[in-house]
Amino acid sequence: MAVNRRGFMAGAAAIAAAGAGKIVAQGSASKDSDSGAGHDRRPLRIGMTDWNLGERGVVEKVELARRIGLDGIQVSVLFPEDGLHLRCPKLQGQYRKAALDNGVQICSLAIGNLGPGSPFKSEPVGALRINDAIEVAANIGTNNILLPFFRERAPKDDTDFKRMIEMFKEIARTAERYQVVVAMESSMNAGDHLRIIDAVGSEYIGVYMDIWNCSYYGNDPMVDVPLLKDHIHQVHVKNRDQYMDGPNEQGFKWPEVAELLYKVGYKGWYVLETSLPKDDMIGDTRHNIEYVRKHFRMPA
C-alpha cells in the first residue's frame, strides 16, 4: 500500500470511532513544522506503560490511568506462556470499552515477549508474534506497536542485517494492511536504524525513541533524534528510579531533549515509563506528568 508520509501523519490526531473502537494515535515528525508561534494549538498527549501502572494486561489499569490524569495507556500484548492472550476477542472488547468509558486512549501496544532465543536471527516465532500483534493492535484501537530488542537480539553483522531487513519487509505487508506502525526500540544507533528502515522502504516500519535507553546503550540522543526525526512514532520518558526532575545518571538534560523534539517537529505521544520514588502511584505519576507538561510542547 502506497502511503504519503505527510498525509499519513496528518491523521495523527486522536480519533476514537465508537463502533470499532479504532483510535488513531500516531505522531511522527513533520518537515513543515514551525519552531515558532502556534505550538499551543496542538495538545500535549501523555500516556504511561501498563507495567509501570502496576501490572501488564490488566484492563482495570485503564481506569487507573484516568484517575491519575493520563491521556493514554500503553498496553502489553501477552502470550499463552504469560498466562493471557490478548488475541482473545472478549478481552479486546473489554479494552475498547474501558478506553471509551474512561476517555483514555490506548496509545500503543508493547510486545514484551518475542519468544525464546534470538527471534530475528534464528527463530521464526518472533516474526509470527509481531504479525499477530499487528492485528491485535488494530482490534483494540491503536495503530502503534513498540517492538523492543536489545544487545544480543540486535543485528551485529551484514548477515544479521540482511535477515532482519527481509523479516521486516514481510512484517510491513501486514502492517500496511492494518495501518499499524511497528516501531523499533533497540540498542542500535540512528545509523543502524536507518539502514533497516531505508532498506525496507515502508512508512509502517519506524522507531520508538526511548531517550534514556538511547543514552544507556552508548548513543547520544541529541545526535540520534535529528537523524531519526522523520521516523520517530512515539517517545518513552523516564529517569530510572528518580523523578523526571531528579538527578539524571545518563548526563543529558530533559529540558534540552524536550526542546530538540519540539524543533524537529515531533507531534506524537510522550509515554511515561517512570518509577515510584515515594511508592505513591498517583502522587508520583502526577509529579512526573506535571514535569512533562512544563517542559514539553507540541509544534503547530
Torsion sign over Cα 259, 262, 266, 267: positive
The verdict on residue 3 lying in a domain is no
- Using the structure block, give the residue that is written with the C-alpha cell 540486535: 154
pTM confidence score:
0.85
Cα–Cα distance for residue pair 138/131, rounded to 1 Å:
11
Q: For residue 6, is it within any domain?
A: no
Residue 92 in this model has a pLDDT that exceeds 60 = yes
Question: What is the C-alpha to C-alpha distance for residues 12 and 30, in angstroms, rounded to an integer?
Answer: 11
Taking the C-alpha atoms of residue 144 and residue 228, their distance in angstroms, rounded to an integer, is 17
Q: Which residue has the higher pLDDT, 97 or 127?
A: 97
Q: Which residue has the higher pLDDT, 280 or 18?
A: 280
Number of CB atoms found within 10 A of residue 243's CB: 17
Residue 162 lies in a domain: yes
Q: What are residue 279's phi and psi, to 5 degrees?
A: 55, 35
Region 187-208: mean pLDDT is 97
Range from 10-14, 196-200, 203-207 carrying the lowest mean pLDDT: 10-14
Q: Return the bridge partners of 105, or none.
A: 72
What is the distance between the alpha carbons of residues 294 and 258, in angstroms, rounded to a whole number?
Answer: 10
Asked if residue 1 is part of any domain, the answer here is no
Q: Is residue 277's pLDDT more than 60? A: yes
Question: Is residue 4 in some structural domain?
Answer: no
Between CA 207 and CA 16 the distance in angstroms is 24
Q: Helix 125-140 and helix 89-102: axis angle, to 10°?
A: 40
The stretch 121-150 carries a mean pLDDT of 87
Q: How far apart are CA 105 and CA 14, in angstroms?
A: 8
User: What is d(CA 36, CA 54) in angstroms, rounded to the nearest whole number?
Assistant: 39
User: Residue 199: its pLDDT value, please?
Assistant: 98
pLDDT at 75 over 70: yes
| Arithmetic mean of pLDDT, 245-271 | 96
Asked if residue 192 is part of any domain, the answer here is yes
The number of domains in the chain is 1
- DSSP annotation string for 150-172: -GGGS--SHHHHHHHHHHHHHHH
Residue 77: CATH number of its domain: 3.20.20.150
